[in-house]
Each structure stands twice: as structure tokens, then as C-alpha cells.
Amino acid sequence: MSGEDDFFAPPAFKPEEALLTLKRNLRDLRALQNQGDSFTLRGQVLLELSVADGLLHARLAKRPAQRPEWDLKLCKNSADVRRLQDEIKRRLMLWTDESP
């Protein structure tokens, strides 16, 4: 019976792979510049990514500033990563003229 249950279980979350995929997808957004594990807009850091404790940690600026206030997002599965990517795109559209 447990073999049948495993069939419907989602694949195990691999934060290192999710980090690489997210970085690759964010590089497609022309307004952002990648610098290691962070992304900048016009020289201001807007996003910092890291992996710890089996989670993908993202610090996302509330708004562009020299010393921004940060929102901490923890991604523990692929759905969380997709929501984070959507939130980054939404905020980027607010801060720039870039449309999807």
C-alpha cells in the first residue's frame, strides 16, 4: 500500500537545484544584473539568495534603496519558488517600465 502512496508524492525538494533554476530564470529579466547570489537594479541590491537547512532563503527588498527593508521568503517546495519568482516579477514591474 505504501508503494501506491509514493506514486502520488511530489518529488523531493532540492534547494540547490531550485536556486540554480531561479537564478537562470531571473537572468532573463533584462533589468536585473546578477552578482553571485544577489541581483541588483541600477546598482542597488534587490534580492539575495542562499540555501540553508534544506530551504531556499530569499531576501527581497520592499523597494529599491541604498539600505532597503527586506522581506524574508523561505521556499520549502517548488510551489514556493514559483510564488517567489512571480513576486519578484511583480515588484520589478512596479519599479521599472519592463512589461512581461
pLDDT for 40-79, tens place per residue?
A: 998 899 999 999 999 999 999 998 888 999 999 999 999 9
pLDDT digits 0-9 by tens, 1-43 = 455 566 677 778 999 999 999 999 998 888 889 998 999 998 8
Q: Beginning with the edge strand found earlier in the chain, give each strand of the sheet holding 44-52 in spatial order.
A: 33-35, 38-41, 44-52, 55-61, 70-75
Whole-prediction pTM value?
A: 0.81
The set of cell numbers assigned to 92 is 520589478
Gyration radius from the chain CA atoms: 15
CB 65 within 8 A of CB 83: no
Q: Could you tell me if 32 and 48 are in contact, meaning their C-beta atoms sit under 8 angstroms apart?
A: no
What integer pLDDT is reported at residue 4 of this predicted model? 57
